[in-house]
Amino acid sequence: MSKLLYVEGTVDRSCTQSHITYSFHISQSADIIRIQFSYTPKLLEDQEQARSMIEASMSRYGYDEPGHAEDAWKKYAPLQNLLTLSVDDPVRHRGNAHRPEMQQEHRLGPSAASPGFVAGDNPAGMWRITVSLHAIVTEKLAYSIQVWGEDAAHG
């Protein structure tokens, strides 16, 4: 097993609806590519901040018209951060992990892959992992990505 990529990052609310792409090189094909992805925190715990953000969004999208209850914002609480991953090998797009979990592990192999990804050979060359920052509702959010290449015989 060889480590192919390890990155940590910190982002803030201004990064919402943007993408960060990391590239890494695999010198020889691997039987299995294993990806660990995590981020924290998940929830915006401050209810007043959550209320302010939700009410601003409700106003922007026309949900604050007369007739809505004063506590209508609670329908959208708690606010959650959401980051997802996409993977491209040197030849093709291998898929996406659009999951809400803060800790994820994905595997790509010739005959099987984690849900959301396409099984296939893991060729040598330049790979890319894209982190899509769909929503960052906390002041700061920390994330990490680790990628390993494994030979079936050495797992």
Tell me, what CATH number does 86's domain have?
Answer: 2.60.120.380
Where b means 16+ CB within 10 Å and e means fewer, 99-135 reads beebebebebbeeebbebbeeeebeeeebebebbbbe
Q: What is the pLDDT of residue 155?
A: 47
The answer to whether residue 53 sits within a structural domain is: no
The answer to whether residue 62 sits within a structural domain is: no
Q: What is the pLDDT of residue 128?
A: 98
Euclidean distance between CA atoms 51 and 57, whole angstroms: 10
Q: CA dist 5 to 56, 64, 132, Å?
A: 39, 46, 18
Alpha helix (H) residue ranges in 11-140:
47-60
The answer to whether residue 59 sits within a structural domain is: no
Q: What is the pLDDT of residue 152?
A: 64
Residues in the chain: 155
The answer to whether residue 31 sits within a structural domain is: yes
Extract the tokens encoding 136: 């960052």
Extract the tokens encoding 104: 């994820």
Q: What range does the domain containing 17 cover?
A: 2-41+77-150
Would you call the peptide bond into 41 cis, given omega within 30 degrees of 0 as the criterion?
A: yes
Cα-to-chain-centroid distance, residue 7 = 13
The answer to whether residue 66 sits within a structural domain is: no
List per-block mean pLDDT (blocks of 10 residues) for the chain, which spans 155 residues: 95 97 96 98 96 92 76 92 97 95 96 97 97 97 97 62
Helix (H) or strand (E) holding 127: strand 125-135
The answer to whether residue 56 sits within a structural domain is: no
Q: What is the pLDDT of residue 119?
A: 98
Q: Is the pTM of this model over 0.75?
A: yes
The answer to whether residue 86 sits within a structural domain is: yes
DSSP string, 68-88: S-TTGGGGGPSPB-EEEEEEE
The answer to whether residue 89 sits within a structural domain is: yes
Domain count within the chain: 1
